[in-house]
Amino acid sequence: MGAMTDKVAMVTGASRGIGAAAVRAFAAEGARVVLLARSRAEIADLAGEIGPDRALAVPCDISRYWEVDAAVEAAVDTFGRLDVLVNNAGVIAPIAPLSQADPEAWGQLVDTNLKGVFHGMRAAMPVMLDQGAGTILTISSGAASNPMEGWSAYCTSKAGAAMLTRAADLEGREGGLRVIALSPGTVATEMQREIKASGVNPVSRLDWDDHIPPDWPARALVWLAGPGGDDWLGREVSLRDEAVRRSVGLIR
């Protein structure tokens, strides 16, 4: 029996990177998984890999609330409940000086990275509160508290998502909700390739070997969804912390 047996976990941005790794990690621990992303073919393939009785692929643009709400409804209709929401989907562009950033692109990033987190919480919280239990995990970043050159939109969106974590914890904990943020550090995903290509700020100058693999934050998310997260409610967990890595089982 896996740690997530009989649980249902929904992951946004599930087509690649941390999201795809999280889907596999939750499924490996026995969870039934709901995959959300705009990339229809990719999430369908991943759901097929896991199995039709244990995975549901729902094409979804998280910047549109009605699509997220419909996805949560589909999850409950298919599997009967929703135990874990992983707010993972995010974008890094536009990378540009604040004085030159395209206002429409800036707003589109906020629609995904910040409003998308709100949409996930808003759609999932009533279901979880009715159940009397549920876990909401949001991918955070050091950018939530540290401004980075060229990343005004990204840093602002992550700072807002950090406050949403605190607000959801404040309002949901007494109803059985567990709300936690995970800051993984830099991860070897397609986003890091975009950052590298930009040549902007010190993160773009990191070597590929400096980044952790996507399965590290994925395993940390499963750990936080279980008893390991009990000491972190309403807070941000940093995967840069060796004690946390040890607790997750990533290092000895």
65: annotated active-site residue: no
Q: Which of these, 188, 189, 178, lies nearest to 228 by C-alpha position? A: 178
Q: Is 251 helix (H, G, I), strand (E, B) or coil?
A: coil
CA distance 218 to 184: 9
Q: Are 158 and 113 in contact (CB under 8 A)?
A: yes
Q: Are 213 and 187 in contact (CB under 8 A)?
A: yes
Q: Are 85 and 136 in contact (CB under 8 A)?
A: yes
Out of 26, 106, 151, 154, pick the active-site residue. 154
Q: Is 73 helix (H, G, I), strand (E, B) or coil?
A: helix
3-class SS string, 152-213? HHHHHHHHHHHHHHHHHHHHHHHHCEEEEEEECCCECCHHHHHHHHHCCCHHHHCCHHHCEC
CA distance 235 to 157: 17
Where in the sequence numbering do the catalytic residues fall? 154
